[in-house]
Amino acid sequence: MADTNARLTLGEKSFDLPVLSGSVGPDVIDIRKLYAQTGAFTYDPGYTSTGSCESEITYIDGDQGILLHRGYPIDQLAEHSTFMEVAYLLLNGDLPSQDELNNFTYTISRHTMLHEQLSTFYRGFRRDAHPMAIMCGVVGALSAFYHDSTDITDPKQRMIASHRLIAKMPTIAAMAYKYSVGQPFLYPQNNLSYTGNFLRMTFGVPAEPYEVNPVIENAMRRIFILHADHEQNASTSTVRLAGSSGANPFACIAAGIACLWGPAHGGANEAALNMLREIGRPERIPEYIARAKDKEDPFRLMGFGHRVYKNFDPRAKVMQRTAEEVLNELGISDPIFDVARELEQIALKDDYFIEKKLYPNVDFYSGVILSAIGFPTSMFTALFALARTVGWVAQWNEMISDPDQKIGRPRQLYTGPTQRDYVPVERR
Ligand code: CMC
């Protein structure tokens, strides 16, 4: 409800625009009637000041480094909850009771297998296909296999599609990996945890039993929780925009995966590790810091900076701790980790990074952990997509249930030619 108005003066006229307040966070100026009243649009490429929807799922305070899911701080969830609890929380609004959690976990586990014919679908890809290319294709193709959950007007079908997506994503991602290394696909094993099952499908082979290492399982649990949702980021907004036209959920999540792939978003973990490898040893750090600061050089420190976090990324702290745990457990002394720690220290003391408020983000340490566990860099973004699917489906459900929801259709500031007459080719 609007308690107050913002006054806009445009030429000779003034207009009152309602100001809406959420439960916490900045107020928003409601400009829904702006064009009808004034004939003007707003201009905000990159949406740096635009709220695109009302949401009850995730809250971020970028200045304070706060990330809350349904009110719960991310570090508490990463420390104490299972991924299934977080998935339930994001989808349903509250932490589950023990019974609700058992039912939810059981339901998800009933959907972990893929339609058998989908395994032949994989064989259409080249062996060196990027896992994200496979993920986009296979997830989009789910709509051709699960017709009974594509009616978005039916809340039951929406929930079944959501459960299917959450349950099948580890199977899809693990199969993308298996395909790339030429090993047989492994079926899910539902007595394992969500992350344990994923680790087994990825690193197990049918010829031998696979023991899930609890430290690695716990690290994966944290990584999945830290990536589960992040408010209206680029891929989530893509999912919402695709869904706003009434597209089926599998197609919408495939659109989210496509957006996540980019190096400025989910692809940054892959890019960050490649960068750390390129730097190779701490002595070379100053050279890369200088390049990051050079306006003529397009190089950026990957894993640094965030559109919203301008103090620290609360996910990065948990990630750094987890990296230490995993490297200790595996007995790995990875020079890349030393480079990462040193780079962080140097950058945090550098005026350029201080002034621009650039801090390590979630991707800075995640690559170190994933690489130590044995994932190739090309799988990093696929793991991000796997975990973020929970947030995507929660946000998609919220959007479809919102009575104010309309097809997303931004406007533009047109700067092209005005109307002109067609000239036949011989006279051009
Ligand atoms: N290294 C060096 N300079 C940087 C960096 C960086 N990583 N990030 C931003 N800057 C500079 C940038 O050059 C600009 O300088 P100036 O004002 O002089 O032109 C200033 O800081 C502001 O940058 P911006 O690009 O306008 O900021 P943005 O909010 O549009 O971009 C970002 C945010 C995350 C895309 C950007 O910081 C970046 O490219 N970081 C590296 C990629 C990365 O790690 N992405 C993962 C984000 S977290 C995971 C996720 O949520 O997907």
Whole-angstrom Cα distance, residue 259 to residue 239?
A: 9
**Residue 175 falls within a domain, yes or no?**
yes
Mark whether 306 is an active-site residue.
yes
pLDDT band with cut points at 50, 70 and 90 for residue 1: low
- What are the phi and psi torsion angles at 415 (to 5°)? -125, 15
CA-closest residue to ligand 1 atom 36: 305
- Looking at the structure, tell me whether residues 100 and 24 fall in a common domain: no
For the record, the structure tokens of 106 come out as 């059981």
Atom number, ligand 1, closest to the C-alpha of residue 233: 51
Residue 359 CA to ligand 1 center (angstroms) comes to 10
- Looking at the structure, tell me whether residues 204 and 94 fall in a common domain: yes
- Looking at the structure, tell me whether residues 284 and 380 fall in a common domain: yes
Can you give the CATH number for the domain in which 314 is found? 1.10.580.10
**pLDDT for residue 160 is more than 80:** yes
- Looking at the structure, tell me whether residues 10 and 151 fall in a common domain: no
- Looking at the structure, tell me whether residues 138 and 273 fall in a common domain: yes
For the record, the structure tokens of 225 come out as 């929780």
**pLDDT for residue 185 is more than 70:** yes
Residue identified by tokens 């009933």 is 110
Can you give the CATH number for the domain in which 18 is found? 2.20.28.60
Residue 292 CA to ligand 1 center (angstroms) comes to 10
pTM recorded for the entire structure: 0.92
**Residue 412 falls within a domain, yes or no?**
no
**Residue 59 falls within a domain, yes or no?**
no
When pLDDT is averaged across residues 294-320 and rounded to a whole number, the result is: 91
Residue 363 CA to ligand 1 center (angstroms) comes to 13
Whole-angstrom Cα distance, residue 422 to residue 40?
A: 30
- What are the phi and psi torsion angles at 20 (to 5°)? -105, 145
pLDDT score of 336: 87
pLDDT score of 161: 97
Closest CA to 162 of 136, 142, 188: 142
Closest CA to 285 of 200, 348, 367: 348
For the record, the structure tokens of 217 come out as 């399982």
The backbone region for 11, taken as left when phi is positive above 0, alpha when psi lies in -120 to 50, beta otherwise, is left
Of 198-207, 350-359, 416-425, minimum mean pLDDT range: 350-359
- Looking at the structure, tell me whether residues 241 and 352 fall in a common domain: yes
**pLDDT for residue 381 is more than 90:** yes
**pLDDT for residue 317 is more than 90:** no
Residues 198 and 386 sit within 8 Å (Cβ to Cβ): yes
pLDDT tens, residue by residue, 38-60 = 999 999 999 999 999 999 999 99
Residue identified by tokens 């000041």 is 49
Total structural domains within the chain: 2
- Looking at the structure, tell me whether residues 398 and 263 fall in a common domain: yes
- Looking at the structure, tell me whether residues 129 and 220 fall in a common domain: yes
Closest CA to 175 of 250, 112, 119: 119
pLDDT score of 2: 61
**Residue 40 falls within a domain, yes or no?**
yes
Closest CA to 79 of 321, 254, 297: 321
363, 402, 404, 421: which is the annotated catalytic residue? 363
- Looking at the structure, tell me whether residues 209 and 139 fall in a common domain: yes
Summary mean pLDDT of the chain: 94
**Residue 408 falls within a domain, yes or no?**
no
Per-residue exposure over 23-39, b if at least 16 CB sit within 10 Å of its own CB, e if not: eeeeebbebeebeeeee
Other beta carbons within 10 angstroms of residue 241's beta carbon come to 20
**Residue 417 falls within a domain, yes or no?**
no
**Residue 297 falls within a domain, yes or no?**
yes
- Looking at the structure, tell me whether residues 28 and 81 fall in a common domain: no
pLDDT score of 3: 72
When pLDDT is averaged across residues 216-234 and rounded to a whole number, the result is: 96
When pLDDT is averaged across residues 399-426 and rounded to a whole number, the result is: 96
Whole-angstrom Cα distance, residue 32 to residue 156?
A: 31
**Residue 61 falls within a domain, yes or no?**
no
- Looking at the structure, tell me whether residues 38 and 149 fall in a common domain: no
Residues 216 and 373 sit within 8 Å (Cβ to Cβ): yes
- Looking at the structure, tell me whether residues 93 and 44 fall in a common domain: no
**Pocket mutation for ligand 1, best pick of 259, 343, 353, 358 (most atoms within 8 Å of C-beta):** 358
Residue list, ligand 1 pocket, CB within 6 Å? 230, 233, 264-266, 268, 292, 300-307, 356, 358, 361-363
Q: Give the domain range for residue 150.
A: 74-403
pLDDT band with cut points at 50, 70 and 90 for residue 389: very high
Long-range CB contacts for residues 38-46, cutoff 8 Å, separation at least 24: 38/8, 38/10, 38/13, 40/10, 41/411, 41/412, 41/413, 43/413
